[in-house]
Amino acid sequence: MKMLINVPETVVADALRGMAAAHPELAVDVENRVIVRKDAPVAGKVGLVSGGGSGHEPLHGGFVGPGMLSAACPGEVFTSPVPDQMVRAAAAVDSGAGVLFVVKNYTGDVLNFDMAAELAEDEGIQVAKVLVDDDVAVTDSLYTAGRRGTGATLFVEKIAGAAADEGQPLERVEAVARQVNENSRSFGVALSACTTPAKGTPTFDLPAGELELGIGIHGEPGRERRPMMTSGEIAEVALDAILEDLTPRNPVLVLVNGMGATPLLELYGFNAEVQRVLGERGVPVARVLVGNYVTSLDMAGASVTLCQIDEELLRLWDAPVRTPGLRWGM
């Protein structure tokens, strides 16, 4: 496989150096693998910290900035960051109002963020944690106990980030984040496997003419393999799975997310089918976001995330945000 890298061993450090050069509004510590808002800590503001393996960009480092995360900790490709990174990030953003850890439900992330919370509290930092577990495709997998954390991570980080920027207290920011997660469901599909720099070959075998339904963001296999389907058929399968588990009483936020190698031409066409199915199912849509936000390296495919919202969550979603990967209203 041809990749635009130097050597696999330095791919994350090289990306962080490039990010630092492109975004002077961020403090990027390449050696210690921590990305922080340059204005942190902000007096009276809850710090919002997340992180995970690299390879999902712009998640998480691309979501650091006003209106979203205070700091992010990138691990090696598809590998959890270590507790020292998380403690360093918490200390950098803590203003005395506490820190919220946003944790995707993958075993390594959960264990390391739990350990980091204990270490940070030993240093006098008040820490709360919210687990994101929105994927309806599988319950237990190679990487998780329970559901995987996928596209809803963006919704949690944006909406909780807006609440934190308003100066809401830690208990309220945590409650908002939990509400978003509890009201979110996701389902993904792969048209090709992804390729990690270290391996140099696809992470699983997906024959020509077939697709994988219910994949995770680390290239984990899904719940079912089928012959290739049309965009409309895929939208029906994905939304049937989501709506079996979520019965929206309010309008929803919709994320149509590319897995890294799917062109926007295809994603917008897929979104048209998603909107058609939601209309047929009588689900009102408040806002739609289309693009590559929670990716899996060079995987072709897409995921759909729905989040049932109320007026307050919609207000926080619409609040201004300015990060490398998401921005509006500023």
| Catalytic positions, written as ranges | 56, 218
Asked if the peptide bond before residue 60 counts as cis, ω within 30 degrees of 0, the response is: yes
**294 is written with which tokens?**
């929670």
DSSP result, 51-71: EEEESSTTTTGGGBSTTSBSE
Q: Is the backbone of residue 219 left (phi > 0), alpha (psi -120 to 50) or beta?
A: left
How far is Cα 318 from Cα 324, in angstroms, rounded to an integer? 17
User: Which amino acid does the sequence have at 98?
Assistant: G
Other CB atoms within 10 A of residue 136 CB: 21
The backbone torsions φ and ψ at residue 190, rounded to the nearest 5 degrees and listed phi first, read -115, 135
User: Which amino acid does the sequence have at 13?
Assistant: A
What is the C-alpha end-to-end distance of the chain, expressed in Å?
40
